[in-house]
Structure formats: structure tokens, C-alpha cells
């Protein structure tokens, strides 16, 4: 280091530079070394003092005219830092160089990256060879390509593939490759090597030792460029299949571990191809092959069960023939793979195709080995499978090698992607740019252009190359050439210069462009010119159209009663129409230039921001409602229609337009309606009117009063102050004391006068004299003074012409009550009076005990009938179930037993459904899904339902249906339920050989359905009660006909829900009965869609993973069996704890859960599941399967987190459809 450099480098920095792992040196402006650190001297093998004062070209003459010299010159000339990689031929190593220029010379860091470059070469070779082996069909096709790819990627100039010839016990050359860059002398020497005595030299040593051999070749550089040779064996296990010998111009020792991996991959490929060749041998050689092959050759019956002995399987697995025959061979398969084997077998059996799979097999020593299976179906002349012939190959080592290869491939792909991105980035930007880009040489002729510029010019890209603008586009040549000359002469860029003219792309049309011109400086070349060109014709046209639109806009805005405004994207007001004077009290010039949010109610700013046009989720035109401040300080409600104007090119918002309408009166009316609705809810919440009036007072305060009192007149014409409320909680006790001073109806002022006259009063100002006049004593007066009333309003509670009391509203802030307040309070008082009157009527109704006792007796009778009807079907169900389990019944008797069990089970389900309908009716929760309905189709569907029952009793059903009867608006399924109930009753109560008549006709504006029968009839005593709940003509133990007596009650309710009527007629017992249903017709016929059933997906659960939890063993076993029959994989658990444990082990597709379970029920289970993360199964679809079948139970299930609710007993098809719909 020179003294000057030592003085210029601080001691601390010099110490750091001396110790860093990279080489570092400095050169002055004459390229002489001024500083060299220890690492640089070590790498060069020259002491530091020998560097100083000498030029880099003296010490390393081989760098003259090299890439290193070019990059050094570029760094100094352009004064930019330069990074590049460089192969130094003397050291045979790669270096990563970083050059940093300064006024006095350059500094340079050098890092050895030889190992990294080698890794990149190895990855590229691995990737290429893997692709070759994957695509090759034969060994002969693959080996030449492998040899070439290996040499090219690793930088070797020649290669030979030697194959082991076992017949002559020698190596034989079967493939060679040499680089085109080899000199003739090197090629001659190379071919002499391939034709020398077989097996001599380096290949023979590799074959003998089984190890890779590397050596430096004898001879000088002048004699040959091939300086080194490498040989490595191609092995398969302990067998050597051949030797690869390669020659290199560089003396670089290769990575033998990498070559070993490549050799293993080639060996496995050769072996695999050899196995494929074996498999293609004829059937005549099959038996001997099966006995001698290392693979397991087997045959199986069409469904996969083994019939014949398989010696190789027996040896491999240790299973005896007695064990593996039939399906016993599955015991050797890994448990996790058995399901997939079954699925594959099922699929290939159906398609008669070749089965290819991989799975794990337990070897005789207990180790699971990866096996590759390939099985071919043997078909008879009809196409049916006679048997399967297959082969199992142990690919455990291959799987391990594949895993290692995948790692290498991923590394290689990462590096390849990075290089591709680097190399193609500029081309991609150039070719795919949405604007035109072109480059011209020093003679201003086209050198390159992208497709966008070619389209602008209207000429093919190739037609431009070598031509000038004047030759191609004379119309625009003058202004373009002027810009070109300016850039060439000055070296300055021209930005956004507009150009116009005609091109072949649109002859006769004047077009506009925005052009940027810039110089391109190339080393040792005259400056070239680049340009970008963007079409702006539409923008120019839009600007003209915008000016015209602006004129029309102002004409409209100036004459509109709505407030029209324009804003910048950030809300600055550009324009507002004169309507702002009427709506907000401002002059337009007072608002222009201010931001729109200055006029918005503070509480509405967040909503305005959320609905601002910059929100990408909003449409270009939308409506927003908010409050704006009037100039006098009060707030006005506005409804604004907002539109965002976008730049045609960038799509950025350039302007916001709004049309605002004053909706203050509408909003006030809405608020009044909301207030009245809330008040009605309070009044309807309880029949204790004192409680509801107290709640109403709390609602009134502070909405429309600061404090209020409610007075009620009792039956003795005495007044009771039942409710008080104050907006200030600290004064609630004061206003409560007013209850001690109820109004005296004998007085002529205040509340007493309002109650007596039934007319409201508004007091705009309450002076002291007024308080004295209404006070009853000094204490009362003092109390009023402390409450400080300023204005007030008193409104009577009137219903049916009777005054029940009064509501008094008082303001302490000086609020002036007006007619709108009076109308609101009068409506509130009317509703309160109605609620009080209804509560009193309800209290009076409590005396009707006799009717209640009768109802209780009827319910008791109903419960007795219910017990009988529910128990009766259990006898045949349990009886036949017992016989089926204990007796050996024939097929006919078993089928009859199952039909009997199913019929009685469905009878119980129908009884339960009727009970649920009655429950919904009594709770007022039975609703309709209304649409236009054709009654002809309704009657036809109902008749089909009872047809079998009628045929069983030889009952004739006669119909008379007028096809011209119009449609009704109703629920198709509920209308069918009405007709079915009446028809089923008619069939049930009609003896064998009887008759049932159905008539559909139009009577005026109604459709009439008449159903009559020749059956039992109805007694005159019971006829008035035939539609009552829980009523039967005979509910004793001697009754002949079953049922709960609910069907006709349900019919009446459903008919009335449809706005119709139903009546029953009968001449008495034994005279039959007639039921007449009348339904209002629609005025106009509409398209009918009585079939609302959507197409259902195929009922196939193949591969679906289902987690089932139910503490009932029978239900759990039934559902598991049923779902597995449809292809599902079911994990059945008996408790919520087991279900949660199973969920942590695997991720099922769907959860089926019972609700009523011990310790942790279904509600608690779904709550715990939903608390899990999505990765842990927290979002799994779930179905509640439960005996709790009410509508409230279904709602509870959905609220708890289940997706669906299914009531027991489970209908299999319904469950299947529900599962599939959730998974689709």
C-alpha cells in the first residue's frame, strides 16, 4: 500500500478490509494498483508489495480485451457502479465482481462464486436429464440425449457411453458426443479413444472399482484442448450397467456425489425400461417369468379376490395361501391405503381399463414398502372381465430418489424462473406495452417497433424495418422528423409532444397522438432515437364533447329545483346551482371553493366517506342520504344521486357530480312512523296497561318532551296518575311526586278540562299564573316550579267516543309545540287508549272459566286418543321386528313384515307432522309460500296420493273438473294438503264398494271444491264442532276409526289463510258427508309453476368424508351403513368429545350431529367447532339430525351454527340431497 493510500484510508476501515472474506483492491486512473487486501493477494498467489505501482494489464495480461477490461472501462466512462460475473481462465474459477468508480480511479470487490455456478450447472443438468428420461420411450432413444445434455450443461466437450457386454465380459462403446467447438486434432484423438481396444484405460478402471475416476490428461495445451477426463459407473443396486466417460477443456474436478445421483437415475430408468420390456412378453412366457422375476406377478378374479396361489407374494409378505386367498391379501396393505385401492378398483372395473396405482405393502419383516401396481383386465368375447393379470414392483428406493430429484428440480426451476424473468423482462415490456414503442438508427430508419406502434401506423411490423417515417407516413413526416433531429443534435428528450395526421390504419381520418422522444446512447455508436406513441384521438374528441356537455349541464342545473353540484375527486366544490339558496340558504359563490364535508352533519361524515365514489365496491352512479347544515344552523335531510366521472385512459376519477333533493319532510314522517311503531310494540308487549304506559312515557322522553305524565280515568270516574318520566334522571323523583296530585275533574283548567272536553290543548308559554291556577296547594305549586315547565301539550286518550285519560307533554327548553307535534301525539294517544281498552277487555274475559274447563276436558280426551294412536302402530312394529330377529321367515313373509313396519312408522310420522302443524297454527307461525296455482293440478296430485287406499277398499272416485276455472294465489303444497285431508277422510269413513265425488267449479269470483262421499256421515250434534281442534265424534275406546281429530282443524286454518271458507254438510249418520271449500280467484291468469322442485344432483357420496356423532347406537349404525352404501367414508363417534378428537385427526367434508346427547349436547358441540380456525375445521358444513322437530328447533339449529336441520325419523333420500346440496 502506498503512503498516499494509507493516509487516505482510516485505520479502522483498513483493518476491516484486511479481514473481510472477499478480495478487495483499488486502481488509480492509470490502472495501477494502489491498495490490495490480504484476500486478494492470497487468491492471486502474489505478495501485496508486488502489486503496488503495477497495472492490472501487466500482472494479468490475459484480461486484455476481455469482459473484465470492458466492464472496468464502462464503470469509469459512465461513472456508475458495475456488477458482473467473470470466468478467470488461469484459475479456472468464476468470480463475482463489483466495481465502484471515483474521481481517482476504481475500487473492486471480488467474491469466488465457483461453487454456486457449479450448483446451477448441476441443477440444469438434473432438470434436463429428468425431462429426457420422462419423455423417452426406449433406452436407445434416451442415452444419446442424456450424454449430450450432461456434457453441455456441465461444460464438457466430449463424452462416451460404455455398456457392459456380459457375453464377452468387456465394455462396448454404444454412444459418443463431441462439441462442435473442438478442433479437428481433438476430434481425431477423441475418435481414436472410442475405437481403441475394448475396455482399456479409464473406463475399465471405473468398471473394475465401481467408483468414479477423475484424472488430468497428459499433454500440453498446444497438443489438445481436452485437459481432463471423468468416468463414473451407471449402477442399479450392486450391478454396474455401464460407464460414462467425459472430457473437459477445463481442469475442474467434478462433484462425484452429483454424478452418482445422475448415474442412479439413469440406472433406474434403464431398469424400468427393461421391466416394461419384460411385461410385453407373450403369455407363453408368463408362468416362468412369474417364478423368476423380482416383481410380484399375480392374477385375481374380476372383483379382486385372489383365487390361485402367488408364490412371490407369499415370499414377499410372509402370508400363507390360506391367508391371502380371497380378500385376505388386503391385510398386508397399509390401512391408510385400503380405501384408495377400493376406489381405484371400483373405477377400473366399471371402465374395463388398466389399473395403475401405488400403495404400501407390509413385507415379511414388518416393514412397509412402496409398491407400484399395474393390472390389465382379461376380457372375454362379450367384453366381460374374466380375470386380472398384474405386477407389483418394489419402488421404495425409487420413491426416495424421486424425492431427492424433486428437491433438485424445485431448486433448478427457481433458478430457471429467475433467469427467464431477467432475460425476458425488457422484451415483455416492449412487446406487450399498450402504447406504441419504436427505435430508429442514426439514419432515422426503423430498427425495431412493437405491435402497438404497427397497429397505430396501419402497417405490418416487418414493413417498417429499414424504412424512414417519410417513406411510410409522409403525412406526419415533417413534425416527427423535426423532433428526431432535435433529439439527435441536442441529446435532449421531448416529452408529451402532440402530433396529428392520417395513417393507413384509418385513411381519411385525422388522428392525434402524444409522443415522447428520447436519445439512446450505445457504446461506440452514433446516438439512436427511441419514441413512445399513445393514441389520444378519443380524448381529444371527448374534450370537445365535454365542452358541449358542459353547456347543456349548466342550462339544466340553473333551472332545476334540485341542487346540482360538481366537485373534484377530493370533494372541493367547483359548481353549485342556484337551488342552494332555497335548500341551504347560501348563495352559490359562498359555497364554491369549499369542501362538501363542511356542510355535512358530523354524525354522517363516516357514512359519506364509506360511500365515496373512490370506493371500488360502489357503482358509478349511486344514491346516498345525509343531513346538511342550513345557513341558519338547522339541519336539512338531503337525498343525493352521485355520479363519478372517470378519465377514459387511466380510469381515475376526475370529477364528481351530484343532484341533491330536500327530503326533510319525508324523513320526519319516517321518523314519526318509526316512533309510532316502537310505541305500538311497547303497548302490545303486555296486558298490564300500567306497565306499558310507564314504558311509553320513557319512550316519549326525551323524544318529544322533557318530562311527561299519563293519567287514567277508572270506572268510578276517578283519575289516577299511572306513569311519569323525566329526561334528567336526577329529576325523576321530582316528577314521580306528581302522582300525589292527580287531576280533579271538578276543576276547569289543565288536564281536567282536556279529560272532560275530550279536546287537546297546546300551551306555547306557561307563566307563573298558569301554574298557580292548576296547582292544588302550595306544595304542588312548589313542585311545579322546581320542574320548570316552559311549554306543554295535553292530549286525551279516546276510544269508541270514551275518554279514558290523558297524556301531558312538557318542555323545559322552550320548545314550541306545533300542529305536527299535535298530530303525532294524538295518534300516540289513540293507540295508547286502544291498548288500555283491550287490557280491560282481557281482564273481563278472565271470568269465562266454563269455556276454559271445557277446553281442558277436550284436551284431556285428545291426549288419551294421542296415546292410543301413537302406541297402536308400535305393536306391529315391535312384533314384526322381534319375529324378523328371532324367526327364520321366508322372503314373502319378511317382505310383508317390512312393509307393515314401514307403513306403521310412516303413520306415526304423519301423526307427528299433524301435531307440528297444529303447534305452528296455535303459535301463529304457519306461513305460506304464495304463487299462482292451478287447482286442477292440485286435485290431481291429491287424488294420486289416496289412490292406493281407495283401490284397496274398492272405492270409486269420480271427478268433475272445470278446466276453465281460474287460478288462485296460494301455497301449492298447502292447497294439496287441504284436498288430501278431505279426500283421505272420505276414503277412511266410506265402507268398501262406496263412492267419493270431487267437483271443481267457479262460483262468481270464487273457486269451489266439493268433496262428497257415501260413508259414515256426521251426526247433527257433532256437525257444529267438526272443525274444532282436538275434537272427535267418538274419542272412547270403542271407536272404529283412528286418527287424532286434527285434520279438519288444519284444513279450516289453511283455507282461511288463503282467504277462503270451508263448510261441512251431512244428513246424519250413515248418510255420507259433503265438504265445500271456497277460495278467491285471481283476477288475471298468470303462469303457474306448481313444481318448485329444483334439479337435484346425483345421489353419490363417493369419496366424501363424513364425521357422524350420535349417542344412540342403533341410529349411529343405521346412518353409517346407509351412507357407506352410497360411497361415503364415515367416521362414527358416540359423543361430542370423540367427535372433537376425530376432527383434530383429519378434516372431514361434513359433520352430522345429534342434538340430545349426555354431558355435551349438539348445541355445545357446534359452538366448540365454530370456535376453531378454518384450517382446524371451524368452517365445516354441519347438519343437525334430531328428534326435536319443531320450527323453533330448526331455527335454533341454524342460529347455533348448523347449516341444516333434519328431523327424525330420517328420510334417507332427503338426507342424501341435503348433504350433496351443502357440498356442491
Secondary structure (DSSP) of 707-774: EEEEEEE-TTS-EEEEEEEESSGGGHHHHHGGGGS---TTS-SHHHHHHHH---EEES---HHHHHHH
Look-up of cell digits 307440528: 916
User: Three-state DSSP class for 392?
Assistant: strand
Each residue's pLDDT tens digit, 354-378: 989 999 999 999 999 999 898 999 8
Q: Is there a contact between 577 and 558 (Cβ–Cβ < 8 Å)?
A: yes
Say whether pLDDT at 192 is over 70. Answer: no
Q: Looking at residue 1073, what is its pLDDT?
A: 94
Q: Looking at residue 2, what is its pLDDT?
A: 47
Cβ neighbour number for residue 367 with a 10 Å cutoff: 10
Instruction: Spell out the alpha helix ranges (H) of 846-873.
Output: 849-871
Region 595-604: what's the mean pLDDT? 89
% of the chain exceeding 90 in pLDDT? 19
Q: State the pairing for strand pair 436-440/385-394.
A: unpaired
What's the CA gap between 62 and 71, in Å, rounded? 15
Mean pLDDT of the chain: 82
Q: Looking at residue 419, what is its pLDDT?
A: 65
CATH topology of domain 1105-1223: Rossmann fold (3.40.50)
Of 183-192, 741-750, 824-833, the range with the lowest mean pLDDT is 183-192
Each residue's pLDDT tens digit, 607-635: 887 777 665 566 778 888 999 999 988 88
Each residue's pLDDT tens digit, 28-39: 999 999 999 888
Q: Looking at residue 1040, what is its pLDDT?
A: 45
Of 8-12, 362-366, 501-505, the range with the lowest mean pLDDT is 8-12
Q: Looking at residue 702, what is its pLDDT?
A: 82
Distance from first CA to last CA of the chain, Å, rounded? 78
Find how far residue 436's CA is from the centre of its chain.
Answer: 39
Q: Looking at residue 1006, what is its pLDDT?
A: 92
pTM (2 decimals)? 0.30
Between 912 and 25, residue with greater pLDDT:
25
CATH architecture entry for 294-401:
2-Layer Sandwich (3.30)
Among 265-269, 700-704, 1060-1064, 1112-1116, which range has the highest average pLDDT? 1060-1064
Q: Looking at residue 43, what is its pLDDT?
A: 80
Say whether pLDDT at 851 is over 60. Answer: no
Domain 685-849 -> CATH class: alpha beta
From 927, 982, 995, 935, select the one nearest 963 (Cα to Cα). 935
Of 18-22, 425-429, 1084-1088, 1169-1173, the range with the lowest mean pLDDT is 1084-1088
SS3 content of the chain, % helix, strand, coil (to 5): 45, 25, 30
Cβ neighbour number for residue 3 with a 10 Å cutoff: 7
What's the 3-state SS for 922-984? HHCCCCCCCEEECHHHHHHHHHHHHHHHHHHCCCEEEEEECCCCCCEEECHHHHHHHHHHHHH
Each residue's pLDDT tens digit, 1035-1062: 443 344 445 567 788 888 888 888 899 9
Each residue's pLDDT tens digit, 102-145: 988 999 999 888 778 777 777 877 888 888 888 888 888 888 88
What's the CA gap between 1154 and 1144, in Å, rounded? 19
Residues 6+ apart with CB under 8 A from 239: none
Q: Which CATH number fits domain 11-114: 3.40.50.2300, 3.30.450.20, 3.20.20.70, 3.90.850.10?
A: 3.30.450.20
Q: Looking at residue 431, what is its pLDDT?
A: 82
Region 255-272: what's the mean pLDDT? 82
Say whether pLDDT at 1024 is over 50. Answer: yes
Q: Is there a contact between 150 and 136 (Cβ–Cβ < 8 Å)?
A: no
- 395 phi and psi, to 5 degrees? -120, 25
233 by Cβ neighbours in 10 Å (0-12 / 13-18 / 19+) ranks as buried
Q: Looking at residue 221, what is its pLDDT?
A: 41
Q: State the pairing for strand pair 1105-1109/1150-1153.
A: parallel
What's the CA gap between 374 and 247, in Å, rounded? 41
Q: Looking at residue 197, what is its pLDDT?
A: 47
Between 932 and 478, residue with greater pLDDT:
932
**DSSP state letters, 109-127:** EEEE-HHHHHHHHHHHHHH
Q: Looking at residue 294, what is its pLDDT?
A: 64
Of 245-249, 305-309, 354-358, the range with the lowest mean pLDDT is 245-249
Q: Looking at residue 528, what is its pLDDT?
A: 87
Say whether pLDDT at 90 is over 70. Answer: no
Find how far residue 227's CA is from the centre of its chain.
Answer: 62
Say whether pLDDT at 592 is over 50. Answer: yes
Residues 6+ apart with CB under 8 A from 607: 624, 626
Say whether pLDDT at 1012 is over 90. Answer: yes
Q: Is there a contact between 89 and 65 (Cβ–Cβ < 8 Å)?
A: no
What's the CA gap between 662 and 750, in Å, rounded? 39
Which set of grid coordinates corresponds to residue 119? Answer: 450448483
Say whether pLDDT at 1065 is over 90. Answer: yes
Region 422-430: what's the mean pLDDT? 74
Say whether pLDDT at 912 is over 80. Answer: no
829 by Cβ neighbours in 10 Å (0-12 / 13-18 / 19+) ranks as buried
Residues in the chain, overall count: 1224
Q: Is there a contact between 609 and 627 (Cβ–Cβ < 8 Å)?
A: no
Of 75-84, 179-188, 1215-1224, the range with the lowest mean pLDDT is 179-188
Q: Is there a contact between 152 and 121 (Cβ–Cβ < 8 Å)?
A: no
247 DSSP 8-state letter: E
- 316 phi and psi, to 5 degrees? -70, -45
% of the chain exceeding 70 in pLDDT? 86
Which set of grid coordinates corresponds to residue 257? Answer: 456425489
Same CATH fold assignment for domains 433-535 and 927-1034+1044-1080: no
What's the CA gap between 1170 and 1172, in Å, rounded? 5
CATH architecture entry for 927-1034+1044-1080:
2-Layer Sandwich (3.30)
Cβ neighbour number for residue 295 with a 10 Å cutoff: 20
Say whether pLDDT at 425 is over 80. Answer: no
Say whether pLDDT at 746 is over 50. Answer: yes
Region 779-801: what's the mean pLDDT? 88
Q: Is there a contact between 975 and 933 (Cβ–Cβ < 8 Å)?
A: yes
CATH topology of domain 563-667: Beta-Lactamase (3.30.450)
Given CA atoms 557, 558, 563, 566 in this order, what sign does their dihedral have? Answer: positive
What's the CA gap between 203 and 162, in Å, rounded? 8
613 by Cβ neighbours in 10 Å (0-12 / 13-18 / 19+) ranks as buried
Q: Which CATH number fits domain 433-535: 3.30.70.1090, 3.30.450.20, 2.40.50.180, 2.40.50.140?
A: 3.30.450.20
- 890 conformational bin, left if phi > 0, alpha if psi -120 to 50, beta if neither: beta
Domain ranges of the chain: 11-114, 136-280, 294-401, 433-535, 563-667, 685-849, 927-1034+1044-1080, 1105-1223
Estimate the crossing angle of helix 874-886 against helix 849-871, to 10 degrees.
20
From 390, 393, 385, select the one nearest 374 (Cα to Cα). 390
Given CA atoms 1029, 1035, 1039, 1042 in this order, what sign does their dihedral have? Answer: positive
- Specify whether domain 136-280 bears CATH 3.40.640.10: no
Amino acid at each position: 500500500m502506498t503512503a498516499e493510500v494509507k493516509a487516505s484510508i482510516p485505520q479502522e476501515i483498513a483493518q476491516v478490509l484486511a479481514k473481510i472474506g472477499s478480495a478487495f483492491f483499488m486502481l488509480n486512473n492509470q490502472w495501477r494498483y494502489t491498495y490490495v487486501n490480504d484476500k486478494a493477494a492470497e487468491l492471486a498467489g502474489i505478495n501485496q508489495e508486488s502489486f503496488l505501482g503495477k497495472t492490472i494489464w501487466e500482472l494479468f495480461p490475459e484480461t486484455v480485451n476481455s469482459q473484465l477490461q470492458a466492464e472496468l472501462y464502462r464503470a469509469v466512462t459512465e461513472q456508475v457502479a458495475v456488477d458482473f460475473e467473470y470466468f478467470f481462465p488461469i484459475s479456472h474459477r468464476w468470480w463475482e465482481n463489483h466495481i465502484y468508480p471515483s474521481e481517482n480511479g476504481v475500487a473492486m470487490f471480488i467474491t469466488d462464486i465457483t461453487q454456486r455456478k457449479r450448483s446451477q450447472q448441476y441443477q440444469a443438468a438434473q432438470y434436463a436429464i429428468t425431462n429426457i428420461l420422462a419423455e423417452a420411450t426406449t433406452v436407445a432413444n434416451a442415452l444419446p440425449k442424456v450424454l449430450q445434455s450432461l456434457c453441455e450443461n456441465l461444460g464438457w466437450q466430449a463424452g462416451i457411453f460404455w455398456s457392459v457386454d456380459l457375453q464377452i465380459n468387456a465394455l462396448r462403446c454404444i454412444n459418443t458426443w463431441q462439441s462442435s467447438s473442438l478442433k479437428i486434432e481433438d476430434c481425431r484423438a477423441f475418435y481414436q479413444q472410442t475405437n481403441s481396444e475394448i475396455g482399456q484405460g479409464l473406463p475399465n478402471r471405473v468398471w473394475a472399482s465401481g467408483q468414479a475416476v477423475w484424472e488430468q490428461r497428459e499433454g500440453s495445451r498446444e497438443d489438445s484442448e481436452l485437459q481432463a477426463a471423468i468416468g463414473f459407473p451407471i449402477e442399479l443396486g450392486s450391478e454396474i450397467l455401464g460407464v460414462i466417460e467425459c472430457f473437459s477443456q477445463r481442469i475442474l474436478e467434478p462433484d462425484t456425489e452429483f454424478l452418482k445421483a445422475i448415474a442412479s437415475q439413469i440406472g433406474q430408468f434403464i431398469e424400468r425400461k427393461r421391466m416394461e420390456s419384460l411385461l410385453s412378453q407373450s403369455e407363453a412366457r408368463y408362468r416362468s417369468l412369474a417364478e423368476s422375476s423380482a416383481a410380484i406377478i399375480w392374477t385375481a378374479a374380476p372383483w379382486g379376490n385372489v383365487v390361485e396361489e402367488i408364490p412371490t407374494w407369499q415370499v414377499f409378505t410372509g402370508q400363507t395361501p390360506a391367508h391371502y386367498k380371497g380378500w385376505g391379501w388386503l391385510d398386508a396393505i397399509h390401512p391408510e391405503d385400503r380405501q384408495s385401492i377400493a376406489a381405484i378398483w371400483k373405477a377400473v372395473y366399471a371402465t374395463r381399463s388398466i389399473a395403475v396405482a401405488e400403495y404400501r405393502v407390509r413385507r415379511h419383516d414388518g416393514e412397509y414398502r412402496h409398491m407400484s401396481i399395474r393390472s390389465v383386465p382379461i376380457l372375454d368375447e362379450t367384453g366381460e372381465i374374466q380375470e386380472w393379470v398384474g405386477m407389483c414392483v418394489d419402488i421404495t428406493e425409487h420413491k426416495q430418489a424421486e424425492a431427492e430429484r424433486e428437491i433438485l428440480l424445485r431448486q433448478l426451476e427457481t433458478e430457471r424462473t429467475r433467469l427467464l424473468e431477467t432475460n425476458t423482462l425488457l422484451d415483455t415490456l416492449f412487446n406487450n406495452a399498450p402504447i406504441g414503442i419504436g427505435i430508429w438508427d442514426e439514419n432515422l430508419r426503423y430498427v425495431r417497433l412493437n405491435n402497438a406502434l404497427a397497429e397505430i401506423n396501419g402497417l405490418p411490423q416487418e414493413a417498417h424495418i429499414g424504412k424512414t417515417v417519410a417513406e411510410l407516413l409522409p403525412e406526419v413526416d415533417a413534425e416527427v422528423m423535426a423532433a428526431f433531429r432535435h433529439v439527435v443534435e441536442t441529446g435532449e428528450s421531448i416529452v408529451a409532444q402532440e402530433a396529428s395526421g392520417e395513417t393507413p390504419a384509418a385513411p381519411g381520418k385525422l388522428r392525434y397522438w402524444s409522443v415522447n422522444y428520447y436519445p439512446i446512447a450505445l457504446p461506440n455508436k452514433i446516438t439512436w432515437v427511441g419514441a413512445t406513441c399513445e393514441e389520444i384521438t378519443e380524448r381529444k374528441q371527448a374534450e370537445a364533447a365535454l365542452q358541449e356537455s358542459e353547456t347543456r349541464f349548466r342550462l339544466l342545473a340553473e333551472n332545476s329545483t334540485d341542487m346540482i353540484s360538481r366537485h373534484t375527486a377530493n370533494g372541493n366544490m367547483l359548481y353549485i346551482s342556484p337551488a342552494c339558496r332555497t335548500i341551504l340558504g347560501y348563495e352559490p359563490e359562498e359555497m364554491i371553493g369549499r369542501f362538501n364535508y363542511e356542510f355535512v352533519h358530523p354524525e354522517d361524515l363516516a357514512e359519506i366517506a364509506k360511500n365515496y365514489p373512490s370506493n371500488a365496491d360502489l357503482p358509478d352512479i349511486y344514491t346516498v342520504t345525509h343531513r346538511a347544515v342550513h345557513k341558519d344552523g338547522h339541519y336539512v335531510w338531503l337525498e343525493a344521486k352521485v355520479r363519478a366521472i372517470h378519465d377514459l385512459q387511466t380510469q381515475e376519477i376526475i370529477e364528481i357530480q351530484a343532484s341533491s333533493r330536500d327530503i326533510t319532510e319525508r324523513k320526519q314522517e319516517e321518523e314519526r312512523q318509526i316512533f309510532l311503531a316502537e310505541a305500538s310494540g311497547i303497548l302490545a308487549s303486555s296486558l298490564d296497561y300500567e306497565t306499558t304506559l310507564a314504558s311509553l312515557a320513557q319512550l316519549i322522553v326525551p323524544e318529544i318532551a322533557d318530562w311527561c305524565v299519563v293519567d287514567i280515568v277508572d270506572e268510578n270516574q276517578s283519575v289516577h296518575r299511572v306513569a311519569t318520566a323525566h329526561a334528567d334522571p336526577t329529576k325523576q323523583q321530582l316528577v314521580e311526586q306528581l302522582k300525589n296530585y292527580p287531576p280533579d275533574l271538578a276543576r276547569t283548567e289543565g288536564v281536567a278540562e282536556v279529560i272532560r272536553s275530550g279536546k287537546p290543548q297546546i300551551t306555547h308559554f306557561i307563566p307563573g299564573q298558569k301554574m298557580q291556577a292548576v296547582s292544588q296547594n302550595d306544595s304542588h305549586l312548589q313542585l311545579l316550579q322546581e320542574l320548570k315547565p316552559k311549554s306543554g301539550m295535553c292530549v286525551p286518550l279516546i276510544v269508541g267516543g270514551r275518554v279514558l285519560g290523558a297524556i301531558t307533554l312538557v318542555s323545559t327548553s322552550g320548545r314550541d309545540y306545533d300542529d305536527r307535534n299535535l298530530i303525532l301525539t294524538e295518534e300516540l294517544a289513540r293507540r295508547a287508549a286502544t291498548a288500555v281498552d283491550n287490557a280491560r277487555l282481557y281482564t273481563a274475559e278472565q271470568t269465562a272459566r266454563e269455556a276454559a274447563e271445557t277446553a281442558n276436558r277436550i284436551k284431556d280426551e285428545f291426549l288419551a286418543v294421542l296415546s292410543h294412536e301413537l302406541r297402536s302402530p308400535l305393536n306391529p312394529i315391535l312384533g314384526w321386528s322381534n319375529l324378523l330377529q328371532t324367526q327364520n321367515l321366508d322372503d314373502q313373509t319378511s317382505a310383508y313384515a317390512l312393509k307393515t313396519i314401514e307403513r306403521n312408522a310412516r303413520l306415526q310420522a304423519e301423526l307427528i307432522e299433524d301435531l307440528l302443524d297444529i303447534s305452528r297454527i296455535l303459535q301463529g307461525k304457519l306461513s305460506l309460500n304464495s304463487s299462482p296455482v292451478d287447482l286442477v293440478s292440485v286435485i290431481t296430485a291429491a287424488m294420486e296420493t289416496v289412490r292406493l287406499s281407495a283401490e284397496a277398499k274398492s272405492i270409486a272416485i269420480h271427478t268433475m273438473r272445470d278446466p276453465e276455472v281460474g287460478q288462485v294465489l296460494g301455497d301449492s303444497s298447502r292447497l294439496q294438503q287441504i284436498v288430501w285431508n278431505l279426500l283421505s277422510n272420505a276414503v277412511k269413513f266410506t265402507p268398501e264398494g262406496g263412492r267419493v265425488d270431487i267437483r271443481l267449479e267457479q262460483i262468481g269470483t270464487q273457486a269451489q271444491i266439493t268433496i262428497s262421499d257415501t260413508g259414515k256421515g256426521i251426526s247433527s250434534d257433532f256437525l257444529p264442532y267438526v272443525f274444532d281442534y282436538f275434537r272427535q265424534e267418538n274419542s272412547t275406546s270403542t271407536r272404529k276409526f283412528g286418527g287424532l281429530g286434527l285434520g279438519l282443524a288444519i284444513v279450516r286454518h289453511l283455507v282461511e289463510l288463503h282467504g277462503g271458507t270451508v263448510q261441512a254438510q251431512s244428513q246424519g249418520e250413515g248418510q255420507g258427508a259433503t265438504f265445500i271449500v271456497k277460495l278467491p280467484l285471481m283476477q288475471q291468469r298468470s303462469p303457474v309453476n306448481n313444481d318448485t322442485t329444483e334439479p337435484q344432483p346425483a345421489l353419490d357420496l363417493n369419496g366424501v368424508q363424513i364425521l357422524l356423532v350420535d349417542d344412540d347406537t342403533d341410529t349411529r349404525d343405521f346412518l353409517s351403513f346407509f351412507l357407506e352404501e352410497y360411497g361415503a367414508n364415515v367416521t362414527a363417534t358416540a359423543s361430542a368429545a370423540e367427535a372433537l378428537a376425530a376432527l383434530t385427526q383429519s378434516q372431514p367434508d361434513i359433520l352430522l350431529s345429534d342434538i340430545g346427547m349426555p354431558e355435551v349436547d349438539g348445541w355445545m358441540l357446534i359452538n366448540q367447532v365454530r370456535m376453531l380456525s378454518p384450517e382446524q375445521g371451524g368452517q365445516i358444513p354441519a347438519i343437525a339430525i334430531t328428534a326435536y322437530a319443531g320450527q323453533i328447533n330448526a331455527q335454533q339449529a341454524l342460529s347455533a351454527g348448523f347449516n341444516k336441520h333434519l328431523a327424525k325419523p330420517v328420510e334417507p333420500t332427503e338426507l342424501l340431497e341435503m348433504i350433496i346440496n351443502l357440498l356442491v
